[in-house]
Every structure is written in C-alpha cells, then in structure tokens.
Amino acid sequence: MSLYCYKCTNQTLSPTKLDDTLSALVCEACEGTYLDLLSYRTWLENHPAVNNANETLDSFSADELDNTDNALICQRCRKFMLKYRINNEHKNTINVCHTCDDVWLDRGEWSLLKYLNMQDKLTAVMSEPWQQQLRNQDRDQSFKKLYQQKLGTDFDKVENFATWLSDHPQKSDIQHYLSQHKP
C-alpha cells in the first residue's frame, strides 16, 4: 500500500533516511516527512545521544522551514492528527496520529529538531508535562509583558525587588508589612 503525503494528500511518499539507521518517507513536492514512531523508538534505543549544542548544522536554515497551520488528516486511518509545539521560540508543531503512531514533520522540522538538540526528544515533546511546561512559560511571559506595559520604566525596579525578596529569609514578614503599610 502506497502512503500519500499528509500535507499535499495526492503525492506518493518516497523512502529516505533521517539518520544512518532511521528510515522515513518523504514527499518530493513539499519535502515533508512521514515517520513511524515504532521505527523512531527503535532508532532511539540504538542511537547514542549526540549533543549538537556547539555545532552549527549546515542543513538547517530557518528560511527552509515550513509549518502546517491547519489540521492534518492521517493518511492511514483518516482521523485528525494532534499538534504538539516543539518549544516557545519556534512556531513549529509536530503532527501526530496516536491511533497509527505516526508523525508528520513539515519541511525542515527534522533539521530544526537536530539544531535544537531535540532529535532524541520527539516522544517527550508529545507528553502532557512538556506541553504544560510550554503553556506555563507562555502564561508567565504574558504576565510579565502585561506588567511591563503597566509599570513602564519602573518594571525593572519591581523585578529586581521581587528577585531580592524571593530569596530573603524574612520574605513573609516583608510581604505582610507591605500589604499592611499605609504611607
């Protein structure tokens, strides 16, 4: 049975290798990649951890990066795929069909994962704790941005005071004083 592109839907996928021992299928038209999670997990068990943190990957260029905004339909079971954010610095999402255990990576997303040293964290990205951490970071950034707008130039003073207060041994006494103090 031929598998068709999850994005183009009418292009047949061709065999490729994401790594020496990690087989996948690629769409020649949109350059997206289909990855079977069983193959990925097998690769992960036999793949030594690599740290690319100090390395610039020649194959990664943000200009060559796509992200499908609309929902994709699994080409095997015809159900909607779920989207999982990689991190808060990039808008890219990993599309996953949990029924078939399939992943769709848009053009350049495997290179992005390698660039971020996350090629061995694909299953972690799909976990609730990972996604909850991203939502918490978003909430914290929004909260901070709101108060930066409200307080303007005084925000840095408040931020420095909050940092000082968080480590202070009499933090609760100081907070109580501030809440009760009437200048």
pLDDT tens digits in sequence order for the chain, 183 residues long: 678 999 998 999 999 999 889 999 999 999 999 999 999 999 999 887 665 554 454 555 666 778 888 899 999 999 999 999 999 999 899 999 999 999 999 999 999 999 999 999 999 999 999 999 999 999 999 999 999 999 999 999 999 999 999 999 999 999 999 999 887
60 & 90 share domain:
yes
162 & 120 share domain:
no
Residues 6+ apart with CB under 8 A from 99: 74, 77, 79
The candidate with the shortest Cα–Cα distance to 7, out of 69, 52, 97, 91, is 69
Q: Decide: 25 and 100 in contact? Cβ < 8 Å.
A: no
Residue 66: its pLDDT value, please? 83
Residue with tokens 């972690």: 124
Strands (E) in 48-136, as ranges, are 82-85, 93-97, 102-105
The answer to whether residue 4 sits within a structural domain is: no
97 & 114 share domain:
yes
118 & 158 share domain:
no
The answer to whether residue 2 sits within a structural domain is: no
Return the SS3 of 148.
helix
Cα dihedral 111, 112, 116, 119 in deg (nearest 10):
-60
Residue 51: its pLDDT value, please? 58
Residue 31: its pLDDT value, please? 94
Query: How many Å is the Cα radius of gyration of the chain?
Result: 22
117 & 139 share domain:
no
The answer to whether residue 5 sits within a structural domain is: no
Locate 34 and state its tokens. 């289909």
117 & 146 share domain:
no
Residue 69: its pLDDT value, please? 82
Residue 55: its pLDDT value, please? 47
Q: Decide: 125 and 84 in contact? Cβ < 8 Å.
A: yes
37 & 104 share domain:
yes
The candidate with the shortest Cα–Cα distance to 103, out of 76, 130, 133, is 76
167 & 114 share domain:
no
101 & 32 share domain:
yes
Report the domain count for the chain.
2
Q: Which domain holds residue 146?
A: 131-180
